[in-house]
Structures are given as C-alpha cells and as structure tokens.
Amino acid sequence: MYNGHKNKNQWNVSLWINNTESMYNEAVRLVKAYGQAKAARMMYRNLEGTRTPDGARYSRIAIFNALDGILD
C-alpha cells in the first residue's frame, strides 16, 4: 500500500488526475456520461504512452482506480 493506493504509480496517477483542474473536469464529465469503466478506457486511449509530469505511467488500472469515487 502507498498512501491508500495499491502502489506508488497508482497513487501518482490519481494525484495528477484529481488535482489537475482540466484532467479532473474531464474525468468528472466522462464518468457522468459513461460510468467509471468506460471513462477510464477513454482517458487511457488519450493518455496511452504518456506519463505524469513526475514520471508515473498512465495505465488503465491506475486511471480506473483514480476515477473511483470521483462523483462522491
């Protein structure tokens, strides 16, 4: 466990998605429109092969977990 996440990579991806205004707003929009699983797939297609500014890889599972509870 790393700060409540499975590992450091998932924590880092969640940190960037949930704390970067444009990414957060897009995540909320997608989850509202399509649900968590499809929103994660859509975000992954846009982010595939990229990394957070501090080097964590945007994986499908990391994005899916970052979106968990985003509408709470």
Domain count, the chain: 1
Q: Which helix (H) or strand (E) holds 5?
A: none
Question: Among 49, 8, 43, which residue's Cα sits nearest to residue 22?
Answer: 43
Q: Is residue 24 part of a domain?
A: yes
Q: Is residue 15 part of a domain?
A: yes
Strand segments, DSSP code E, in the chain are none
Any residues with CB less than 8 A from the CB of 1 and at least 6 apart, and which? none
| Domain span holding position 42 | 8-67
At 36-54, the pLDDT tens digits run: 999 999 999 999 999 999 9
Residue 5, beta-bridge partner list = 2
pTM: predicted TM-score of the whole model, two decimal places: 0.93
Q: Is residue 13 part of a domain?
A: yes
Q: Is residue 72 part of a domain?
A: no
Q: Is residue 51 part of a domain?
A: yes
pLDDT band with cut points at 50, 70 and 90 for residue 72:
confident
Question: Among 16, 21, 14, 29, which residue's Cα sits nearest to residue 68?
Answer: 14
